[in-house]
Structure 1
Amino acid sequence: MTLRFGYGTNGFGSHRLDDALAVIAELGYEGVALTVDQPHLDPFGTDLGARTAAVHRRLDELGLDVVVETGARYVMDPWYKHEPTLVSDTGRERRVDYLRRAVRIAADLGAEAVSFWSGTLPAGVDDAEGWRRVVDGVGAVLDEADSRGVVCAFEPEPGMFVDTVGGVLELRRRLGSPEHFRVTLDIGHCVCNEKGTVAECAHQAGELLGNVQLDDMVPDVHEHLEFGAGEIDLPAALGALLDVGYTGLAAVELPRHGHAAPVVAERSMRALRAALDTALDGSTPHHRSTRHGGGSEFNGGEEAQT
């Protein structure tokens, strides 16, 4: 078994979607993590069905698999990034509507999963109310996903209400352990925010691992970096994914590198191929994985809520 690498379209924000997909495919990626957003595939625009069908045809032409990502920054509110969320004081139904649209798009594209997150709990709201809000919202999204056979992969995000793999597993328990609910793992978050290594986080998710994002980070700073710019041991991280038998897409997540997207994507692919070769030849013990963050203070920084 080996890994299939993808690249996130949020790292190609200055490209037309057709052009971005062509570059990603030409560089040897096997899939894309498609953020449903303007200007690529606006879930609130007209003729969504026809536009989605055209994207599906293009993916097929290029031989690209796909997961659907929902980290659009201003698709619902032009003033406030990512608002409203599943835990906002108001407007949560708009986030649920957006996510249900994403599920329908994922079904039409034949996507492997649709990935989403909780949002940041507003000041003055206690954890009990936070859990109520996120359980209610995710439950409504899962109703749509179950009816269409779509996997929902929930991402723990630094600084958000659900911020660790353990938190996602607790959410799954509170939801009644639904079949279509799984985990998105961003390997950089293991350095930035988790107490465990990539290997420990991957094994914690186990067979529930439904989506993987690839990037580098440093402890306590939520900033997506190119491989080699942070503290990820990339061969060990990829080895950890192999160890747990992960078979889905593992997509590069560099949303702030669109100014040099083709060059960054090419560098990333070279780094991934070299790291995978090292992982496969056994020269890197998978169990040592990566150094992890353990600081007591988290700096969300500019990259928080990517």
Structure 2
Amino acid sequence: MSLRFGYGTNGLTDLRLDDALGLLADLGYEGVGLTLDHMHLDPMAPDLAARTRRVSRRLDQLGLTATVETGARYVLDPRSKHGPSLLDPDPDRRAARVRLLTRAVRVAADLGAHAVHCFSGIKPADTPDDTAWKRLAEAIAPVVEAAEGAGTPLAIEPEPGHLLSCIADFHRLRTDLGAPAALGLTLDIGHCQCLEPAPPAACVRDAAPWLRHVQIEDMRRGVHEHLPFGAGEIDFPPVLEALAATGYQGLTVVELPRHSHAGPQLAEQSIEFLRRAENAVRAAAEGGRP
């Protein structure tokens, strides 16, 4: 097994970023899913470049790598969760999201991050499907172009309730854009359990050629609630075995954005759980017992 585990800073929002990174390094994580937000690396800060250089030095000191995530709830609009999105009816508001994502691409390049994560957003009411898909393709195209220029893949995440909500939707967008190499997939293992027709391990195998980022947590079928490991329904050793078999080299990031109140404890418990699951895979491969 050669998986590289990280933990998302959106689950450590009660910690200063330096403290969060130090914690993860001490616990044995190899990287971090760094959500650009006001409490950590604020993408709207006028001195963003200088702040990014400081974070880059800190990551190097700690031996951590990063994925840049863009799922902050209110970073653009203090009154609208995840707003504005790439699907907003107002072209100026869509442009604000595009600017944020292109800024995230620059941050990722400066950090040496292996991908930039994003998602489509929820389809606005009274918007026809064809209009929404056209709007998404047109809005995300310049971000894909920026990612290609920076040499940093853009990894869009199928999100329950969003226009792009499943792996099949990713392929629709990819086809609409002409299959650009810079556009890849963020696969959330919990989301696979929540709504994909295939089991999570099968989703990993199906998505393997386009995997650029992986998020992981427990979840129940039909319920979009990110849960600590063991609190949901997922059998994790087959998932980790499938991930390792793909040759995926990016981070597999624990995603518990609603558990910051217990972030340090859950970060420790999560890495222990994942290591035990890895050991179970190894033991099964060797004909022994976990």
Q: Give the TM-score band, short-chain normalised.
A: over 0.9
Moved more, 177-186 or 193-202: 193-202
- Of 229, 239, 261 in structure 2, the residue corresponding to residue 237 of structure 1 is 239
10 and 284 in structure 1: CA distance in 2 versus 1, 3 angstrom threshold: farther
TM-score for the superposition, normalised by structure 2:
0.96
C-alpha deviation, 1:284, in angstroms: 11
Partner of 2:158: 156
Alignment of 1:47-58 (within 5 A): 47-58=47-58
Unaligned runs of 5+ in 2: none
Runs of 4+ deviating beyond 2 Å: 280-285
Partner of 1:65: 65
Aligned residue type for 1:274: R
Aligned to 2:178: 176
Alpha-carbon distance in 1 for matches of 2:13, 2:259:
9
SS at match of 1:121: coil
Q: Which residues in structure 2 correspond to 1:132-281 (within 5 Å)?
A: 132-281=134-283
User: 1:236–1:284: 8 Å Cα contact kept in structure 2?
Assistant: no
Counterparts of 1:176 and 1:241, CA distance in 2: 27
Shift of residue 154, structure 1, vs aligned partner: 0.8
CA contact (8 A) 2:164 2:170 kept: yes
In structure 2, what is the equivalent of residue 92 of structure 1? 94
The residue aligned with 1:28 is 28
Given that 1:84 and 1:92 are in contact with CA atoms closer than 8 Å, whether structure 2 keeps it comes out as yes
Distance (whole Å) between structure 2 residues aligned to residue 184 and residue 57 of structure 1: 26
- The one-character-per-residue Cα deviations of 1:82-113 (angstroms, maximum 9, x if unpaired) are 00101121211111011011001001000000
- TM-score, normalization: structure 1? 0.91
User: Which protein has the bigger helix share?
Assistant: 2
| SS at structure 1 position matched to 2:32 | strand
Greater shift in the superposed pair: 105-114 or 205-214: 205-214
CA distance in structure 1 between the aligned counterparts of 2:274 and 2:201, rounded to whole angstroms: 17
Is the aligned partner of 1:105 residue 2:107? yes
Of all paired residues, the percent bearing the same amino acid is 51
Rounded Cα–Cα distance in structure 2 between residues aligned with 1:276 and 1:166:
29
Counterpart amino acid of residue 168 in structure 2? G
Q: What's the Cα RMSD here? A: 1.3
